Structure 1
Amino acid sequence: MSSCCPPGRSGSETAPVPRLTGTEAGGLLALPGGVFRMGTDDPDGFPGDREGPVREVTVEPFAIAAHCVTNAQFAAFADETGYRTDAEKFGWTYVFAKFVPAVLRKGSPRPEQAPWWCGVSGAYWRSPEGPGSAVEGRGDHPVVHVSWQDAMAYCEWAGQRLPTEAEWEYAARGGLDQARYPWGDELTPGGEHRCNIWQGRFPVRNTEDDGYVGTAPVDAFPPNGFGLHNVAGNVWEWCADQFDEAGGQRSMRGGSYLCHESYCNRYRVAARTANTPDSSTGNLGFRVAANLQ
């Protein structure tokens, strides 16, 4: 199965929990936790990703960011600490081919199973499309080209942590029980786009019907019932967990601006995938969480 997932280096009923749409804890949204139905048996899902079975999971009260960490937030961390990301240490990272200038695209290595990615030398979070690009004017966009290890370093600096998969899915559901998306079961209710994903024919043509060809501002679309923005599409989000018992890979949630219903509908709430902890791409970021005192 083809996938938009980042390549590595190596029915909607209201759940019986209260909604806290504006409560904050240390700048994060405080959520009450409780029992919810995690996973899916959706026939359009990916059994190989172990999205199911649907099971009851208990989540303790916790806090989570309303949106992904932005370029501006990550810049504050990097400027204060001098931190160098894995992409900077390796000297390259993966960029969507159509965003790469022809002079850089020529000769750039491409994964056999996902040739729409280019391994671009000199690309990193401050130059997300490679040398000559910059994040000026995109301070409110999610930081990308960050590995799981980079996300963990940011969390340590900020006194926060990554959410577990159970916390992420509970928060992303926004109080809805077994809905396909954070807002319900319809992708575009009333013809309205609710997330930043690919429209058109991937990877040839993006009609940009949702208003974006690459990343969107972290609060570009209305929040879900718990106040979280963009938990579907925009960028994949690292979670704390190992993907499976074998270890070695970390879980990612939410899908990205490169997901398309024809081959990779992983912008569903229950969808999941994984990557190695040192991997980074132009559609991979993170959001932070914290324990409640």
Structure 2
Amino acid sequence: MNTIKSVCILLIITLLNLGCHQNKSQTTSQKQAPTSALTNTPNAPEGMVWVPGGTFEQGAVPQDKTAMAHEKPRHTVSLEGFFIDLTEVTNAQFSKFVKETGYITVAERDIEWDVIKKQLPEGTPKPHDSILKPGSLLFKKSKTSVPNLYDFSQWWEWRIGTNWKHPQGPGSSIEGKANYPVVHISFEDAQAYCKWAGRRLPTEAEWEYAARGNAQGSVYFWGDDVNDLSKKANSWEGEFPVSNTLEDGYERASPVKSYPPNDFGLYDMAGNVWEWTSDWYNINYYKELAALNTPAINPQGATKAYNPNNPYLEEKVIRGGSFLCSASYCASYRLSARMGSSLDSASEHVGFRTVATPEMILP
């Protein structure tokens, strides 16, 4: 399910042919335990909310029968308080950033084969230059049932000319979609925005803590009843990836604040678009944290990426699921759901939100 430029290039090569990390020990950064240095709740910047520090259990809850191995085991985490965006960064916000800086996203830049081939199996042939053009990944429905849901090439296509300004490919635009989450954003793009805004990306632990709100022991931010899904989040209803019943009102991304917020007042922490975090994706990381037998204090994630399913790539953790998540496919609107995505990944269902600490905001 990794929506990545390099994998897409490999996919293109495969389709053309058909049709015409070593694991190292990881450690978590240990800082001082959260304290009560702030006697009063600080005033949040516009568009953000204050999440008070505390301790929680990160990872899959016992009653979640769909949880995957990399969501386990649960482990104790203690965090200092932080500010976090109420919504995913919108097209309007990203447009302001681009207007002021002239920034060009990864999906708009020329593709450098010498860089891409390092992320592909040795000996992978170079595609024709007509294919190696700037673009991004778009979802496409299947006309018939898909027997193998592990083969994501059946519903993703590389579309030249697709980027945040043209989210559905050439000829499309974000006109009238100022309040939609910006998409086709790589990790580098999100980092650049954060630097401009004086913010940073959340750690994975911060993201889950904020998403859970007061629902510390439940599968979803609203509880354990999946029947409430269409009222609470933008996801896929129907047979994926063939038909969407639109029970939740949208087939693709929806405007921010289209669904109820969680206990912290945060919107779209389940569904709509995946969100970047700052953590490296390492399938062994949770096991290593749990083995410490002590709370992880403000963990910063694994020191190195490790995913044997994508040994050529370095991936960051993305969270929250998207409008493509369904019960039969990934069900990643669950609070503990996580996935790895390579740094140059850009697609129509990946965006981000930012966080800040008091020292970054307060004079």
Same fold per TM (> 0.5)?
yes
1:66-215 counterparts in 2 under 5 A? 66-89=86-109, 90=111, 91-98=134-141, 113-189=152-228, 193-215=231-253
Separation in structure 1 between the aligned mates of residue 230 and residue 244 of structure 2, nearest angstrom: 17
Separation in structure 2 between the aligned mates of residue 33 and residue 257 of structure 1, nearest angstrom: 30
Cα distance, 1:7 vs structure 2: 4.3
Cα distance, 1:118 vs structure 2: 0.7
- Match for residue 52 of structure 1? 72
- Indicate the SS of the match to 1:200: coil
Aligned with residue 6 of structure 1, among 3, 10, 21: 3
- Match for residue 49 of structure 2? 29
Name structure 1 gaps, 5 residues minimum. Answer: 11-21, 100-110
Normalised TM-score (structure 1) = 0.86
Name structure 2 gaps, 5 residues minimum. Answer: 8-40, 112-133, 143-149, 283-301, 306-313
Separation in structure 2 between the aligned mates of residue 153 and residue 192 of structure 1, nearest angstrom: 34
Q: For residues 100-129 of structure 1, what are the alpha-carbon distances to aligned partners after superposition, in whole Å with 9 as ceiling and x for unaligned?
A: xxxxxxxxxxx9543211100000000001
1 or 2, which has the higher strand percentage? 1
- Indicate the SS of the match to 2:236: coil
Aligned with residue 281 of structure 2, among 243, 252, 275: 243
Normalised TM-score (structure 2) = 0.70
Contact 1:187 1:193 in 2 (8 A): no
Letter in 1 for 2:135: W
Separation in structure 2 between the aligned mates of residue 176 and residue 25 of structure 1, nearest angstrom: 22
Separation in structure 2 between the aligned mates of residue 226 and residue 150 of structure 1, nearest angstrom: 27
- Indicate the SS of the match to 2:83: strand
Q: For residues 223-264 of structure 1, what are the alpha-carbon distances to aligned partners after superposition, in whole Å with 9 as ceiling and x for unaligned?
A: 000010010000000001111154221000000000000121
Compare CA radii of gyration and give the structure with the larger one.
2
Separation in structure 2 between the aligned mates of residue 229 and residue 214 of structure 1, nearest angstrom: 17
Length, aligned pairs only: 265
CA RMSD of aligned residues (A): 1.9
1 or 2, which has the higher helix percentage? 2
Separation in structure 2 between the aligned mates of residue 236 and residue 8 of structure 1, nearest angstrom: 16
Q: For residues 7-63 of structure 1, what are the alpha-carbon distances to aligned partners after superposition, in whole Å with 9 as ceiling and x for unaligned?
A: 4534xxxxxxxxxxx97522211111110111014331111xx11111111011111
Contact 1:253 1:273 in 2 (8 A): yes
Cα distance, 1:137 vs structure 2: 1.0
Contact 2:325 2:333 in 1 (8 A): yes
The 3 A distance-change label for structure 1 pair 170 and 182 is same
The 3 A distance-change label for structure 1 pair 24 and 210 is farther
